[in-house]
Structures are given as C-alpha cells and as structure tokens.
Amino acid sequence: MPQELRKQAIPYKPKKGEGYMSSKQLMHFRNILEGIKVELGQDIDRTVHTMQDEATIFADPNDRASQESDMALELRNRDRERKLIKKIDETIAKIDTGDYGYCESCGIEIGLKRLEARPTATLCIDCKTLDEIREKQVAK
C-alpha cells in the first residue's frame, strides 16, 4: 500500500497555460499528503505493537536499562511522527481553504518543484533561508 502511494507521487506536470495550484495540482498534493499520513499511521501502529511485544520483564538490570532507553527512543519517534501528522493535517486544511502553495510569510508562490520535494513546506525558499539564519542567531 505505501509503495503504491509512492508510485503515484510522480511529479506533477502542469499543462500549458495551467495556472498555479489548479484543482488538479491541489488534488495531486492532497494525495501525496494523505499517503504520507497513512504511512506514518502505520509506523505508529507498529511502534505500539513493538512496545507491547517487548513488555517482558528482564531479570538482568542491564537488559532492563537498555529496554527502557529503547522505549524512550520509540516514544520520541512517536512524538515526532505525531507532530508530523499534525503538520500534514494543517497542510491539508490549507488545501481546503485555498492557502496551499503560497508562502506564509511573504505570500508568493512556493513553487511546484519545492512542494514536490517538501509537500508540507509553508515558506518559500527565501523566507525559509532567512528563517534558518535567524534560528542560528538565536541559538548562539
């Protein structure tokens, strides 16, 4: 199933004279986003199962310690996936409201190429670059 979804996600080729973010393009990106969401959902299900499977109590304290750090890692991954799913939901909502594909900061078109690579991008490449420079300065 995820494999099929990926195969569908071939870059969209707009027809001559087709406007930016036409209904077909929106459909294309919605499919990609829904596909990623399905995959993430399956990952989370798998994590839950793994954790249940591993809920055996090890007699050796060393085993127990590594089991605990495995679980902490799993939980962090799950947290990251949940955030990503939230982000995807927000992005799909933007498709619904017609805001998808435009930079949140300056309002210009993010561009098909960038969206193919990062379907959840909310900033154009210029604003994103600026953002990253600012983040680095804050981190210093």
Report the binding-site residues for Zn(2+).
Answer: 103, 106, 124, 127
Nearer to Zn ion, 78 or 87 (CB): 87
Give yes or no for residue 127 binding Zn ion (CB under 5 A). Answer: yes
| Of the candidate residues 31, 47, 105, 120, the single one contacting Zn ion (CB under 5 A) | 105
Question: In terms of Cα–Cα distance, which of 60, 108, 52, 5 is closest to 44?
Answer: 52
Choose the binding region for Zn ion from 33-41, 69-77, 79-87, 100-108 (rule: CB under 5 A). Answer: 100-108
Give yes or no for residue 67 binding Zn ion (CB under 5 A). Answer: no
φ/ψ region of 38 (left if φ > 0, alpha if ψ in -120 to 50, else beta) reads alpha
Give Cα separations from 108 to 20, 32, 117, 128, 135 (angstroms): 11, 22, 18, 12, 22
Question: Where do contacts with Zn ion occur on this chain (CB under 5 A)?
Answer: 103, 105-106, 124, 127
